[in-house]
Structure 1
Amino acid sequence: MTATLTPRAERFFLLTLAGIQFSHVLDFMIMMPLGPILMQAFGIGTHEFGLLVASYSFSAAVSGILAATFIDLFERKRVLLACFALFGLATLACGLAPGFATLLIARGLAGVFGGIMGALIHTMIGDAIPFSRRARASGVVSSAFSLSTIAGVPLSLWLANHLGWRAPFALIAVLSVLFIVVGMRFLPELRHHMDEEKRGHLLSATFNVLRDANHLRALLFSALIIFSGFTIIPYITVYAVNNVGIAQADIPIVYLVGGTATFISARLIGHWADRYGKIEVYRRIALLAMLPLLAVTHAGTLPLGIWLIFSTTFFVLVSGRMIPAMAIIASSAQPKLRGTFMSLNGTVQSLAMGLATTLAGFLTGLDGSGKIVGYPLVGYVAVAANLLAIWFVARIVMHGRTPPAAADR
């Protein structure tokens, strides 16, 4: 069952979710391009930087488990905005952190609330948008990733270069306040899931999710996709600067070009997935994504123009997989358990992010000249996980198809 929204209300609903997604995606993404700056500021290596990135993911995983015990008991809008407010405070704490240890703790707190928000956003899409338009809706919300790379990351890096690394976190805190106000105005109340029969105990919904074999297949699929991307993503900027020879001042250009391309491609991919079949479109994009997975991890010294081709293709295809994938994952859940399922999915994705980042941190290191070694091996690990996800996706059954598309069987 989905909520009924007018076309205008649906448009504002999705744009508001995209704005909220923009804030918390930017908070997570900014750590990667800030890598060289933070490593220099704190005198840390790839292992410590990987821990700084992974702390967000591991905290999000824990919060996802906790959220699964209560998230379907409450109205969606109130939970989302409450978590968003706490997320804004945690992000502000990141900007005020006096040292590495306190920044690590603050990143963990941001992950606690960011993890719940990410799960809730996709839960609300599943609750409010019919299956036939769900991939396009995911594409609209996923455009937040593109906008954060087009505008958010370059602006944040400009602020970091001129005002210090703390400035981007202050910017995100301000954006959080703005989008909370917008959310109070344009997000509808979603409470139809609360009309289902009452659960027997606090963990009954979690157990019901985990007893469903289809749910478990979808969760494993989700983990494989995230793992294949996040072995590479946290270190891509450090590798570009240290190994490829891209100037730190040119990193905003990399994100600007890549973000512009994904802003265009995200909407197209969502449309194609709804028209030609979510599984079929996912498979094709994921197969193509293996090329940039290998290219960016094996590149030597390159001019900026060639690196832009590699990195932009990486942005478009690696992130593009997630549009049909999230529609598949959200549609695999039983509607009455969607909030619990998506919270557990957030936990699984966050664990996959953290494990991928940590593993890549151990597989790589810095040589005497400051270059990263071991990154090609990370690329092979990413490709292996990607191939497993491609093989596994056909085993997931999606709810809400009327009639089922042949490509989605």
Structure 2
Amino acid sequence: MSQPLTHPLHTIQKERAIIFILAALQFLHVLDFVIMMPLGPVFMKSFKIDSAAFGLLVSSYSISAGVFGLLGALFLDSFDRKMSLLVLFFGFSFGTLLCAIAPNYSFFLFARIIAGGFGGMIGATVLSIIGDIIPVFRRGTATGVVMSSFSVASVIGIPIGLSLANRFGWHFPFLSLAIAGFLILPIGYKVLPAIRYHLDSDVHPKQSQFKSFKEVLLKKEHMAPFVFMIFLMFGGFTVIPFLSPFLVSNVGLTIDELPYIYFFGGMFTFFTSRFIGKLADRYGKLKIYQIITILAILPIVVVVTLTKTSLPIVLLITTIFMILVSGRMVPAFAMVTSAVEPRIRGSFMSVNSAIQQIASGAASYVAGFILVQTSDQQFQNYELVGMISVFSLLFSVYLAKNIKIAG
């Protein structure tokens, strides 16, 4: 294979600038998704909606991201990756702007579908660019920088977003994200190089992509990781989207105290996820996944049964919750990534990403229907949602043993 770029990178400084832009795009995209969950109490009050309607708001983004991500994977490889990423990010920023100006629930729901449709393809495109232009001996570091955006969004983005929402209203965080998105687009256009190497293949890209997708979907060995991914998502996204509304309504936290939950959870997760990854490499991904998942059951049970509790105790419980519930994803993704032959890994991961998005959206939607709010705004049946989460976790431990490592 020849050089992965039409115009190779000449300096480390140029490479760092590219990684910074990719990380910034990923950060804004991730923050747009995660900011929804702590703003749950604000949306439910502002739109006068119940838990089912809020669950639909959360799930609409994920399901749209999954569906359009799956469709996009069939044709995105036919274009320059730089232009694909910038067009996708423009559409995502436009969808976020629509969220900012939404006058009612229906318009906001429509805007979330638009943002999710474009946003669902951004992450895969960013990772594809890293694979194309970053040398293999620096690729792990580059991926780590970009993928740390979730923790950075939790530590920095969510507290700032909540502060803006508390001071200026819920529209303002989305307006800020949209403006930042539009401002970074011309910088990305200038910094990112044209990335057309994948178009130089002797095999027609569309035909190759279609054949790969067909093989991914029909291969019997792939069913175990796909089903595993569904229960992996249900293990977390039945509980997570309604954590903030529950903490405000049932546990007694104020909206001003919610940023502390995400600050400490994100800060600890930033370090523990890397540590869990090292443990998985040393002792085996399956073994570490099983241990972390079993341990995660305890904080889930505690969280869904909380009553009026002081902030320090809540912070301790929710931080352990985030460390373990998010930590299990590290060995889980490592197992799933290794469950496919390298030659069709790109198509496999596209399908897997779509399943992940749709499953997380379905989990939020189901949980929203189970939860009931009383006349005094208390949530009921959160412990039932927790039981679904625990069952999903336990079943995922069983399913993980059926994932065969292919390469």
Deviation at 1:301, TM superposition (A): 1.2
Partner of 1:404: none
Q: Is the 8 A contact 1:258 1:312 kept in 2?
A: yes
Which amino acid is the alignment partner of residue 164 of structure 1?
G
Which amino acid is the alignment partner of residue 204 of structure 1?
K
Partner of 1:116: 121
Q: Is the 8 A contact 1:127 1:335 kept in 2?
A: no
CA shift in 2, pair 1:137/1:331, >3 Å: farther
Which amino acid is the alignment partner of residue 305 of structure 1?
P
- Where does 1:131-142 land on structure 2 (aligned, <5 Å)? 139-142=144-147
Deviation at 1:201, TM superposition (A): 8.2
> Which string of whole-angstrom CA distances, capped at 9 and with x for unpartnered residues, describes residues 167-206 of structure 1?
1001211332355455442578373486263354874332
Partner of 1:62: 67
**Which residue, 67, 78, 84 being the options, matches 2:89?**
84
Partner of 1:211: 218
Distance 1:349 1:194 in 2: 31
**Which residue, 335, 339, 343 being the options, matches 2:346?**
339
- Where does 1:384-395 land on structure 2 (aligned, <5 Å)? 384-395=391-402
Which amino acid is the alignment partner of residue 311 of structure 1?
T
Structure 2 residue 195 is matched with structure 1 residue 189: yes
Q: Is the 8 A contact 2:79 2:196 kept in 1?
A: no
Deviation at 1:233, TM superposition (A): 1.0
Partner of 2:170: 165
CA shift in 2, pair 1:207/1:223, >3 Å: same
Structure 2 residue 383 is matched with structure 1 residue 376: yes
Greater Cα offset, 230-239 or 124-133:
124-133
Partner of 2:330: 323
CA shift in 2, pair 1:219/1:193, >3 Å: farther
Deviation at 1:133, TM superposition (A): 8.8
- Structure 1 residue matching 2:376: 3-state secondary structure: coil
Deviation at 1:140, TM superposition (A): 3.8
Partner of 1:294: 301
Structure 2 residue 60 is matched with structure 1 residue 18: no
Q: Is the 8 A contact 2:63 2:361 kept in 1?
A: yes
- Where does 1:225-374 land on structure 2 (aligned, <5 Å)? 225-374=232-381
Which amino acid is the alignment partner of residue 267 of structure 1?
R
Distance 2:234 2:259 in 1: 25
Deviation at 1:258, TM superposition (A): 1.2
Deviation at 1:343, TM superposition (A): 2.5
The answer for unaligned runs of 5 or more in structure 1 is 401-409
Which amino acid is the alignment partner of residue 40 of structure 2?
G
Identity %: 41
- Structure 2 residue matching 1:60: 3-state secondary structure: helix
Partner of 1:145: 150
Greater Cα offset, 229-238 or 62-71:
62-71
Distance 2:80 2:270 in 1: 31
- Structure 2 residue matching 1:369: 3-state secondary structure: coil
Partner of 1:177: 182
Q: Tell me how large the CA RMSD over aligned residues is.
A: 3.0
Which amino acid is the alignment partner of residue 195 of structure 1?
S
Q: Is the 8 A contact 1:120 1:342 kept in 2?
A: no
CA shift in 2, pair 1:191/1:316, >3 Å: farther
Deviation at 1:254, TM superposition (A): 1.3
- TM-score when scaled to structure 2? 0.87
The answer for unaligned runs of 5 or more in structure 2 is none
Distance 2:53 2:345 in 1: 36
Distance 1:101 1:239 in 2: 24
Count of aligned residue pairs for this structure pair: 400
Partner of 1:36: 41
- Structure 2 residue matching 1:296: 3-state secondary structure: helix
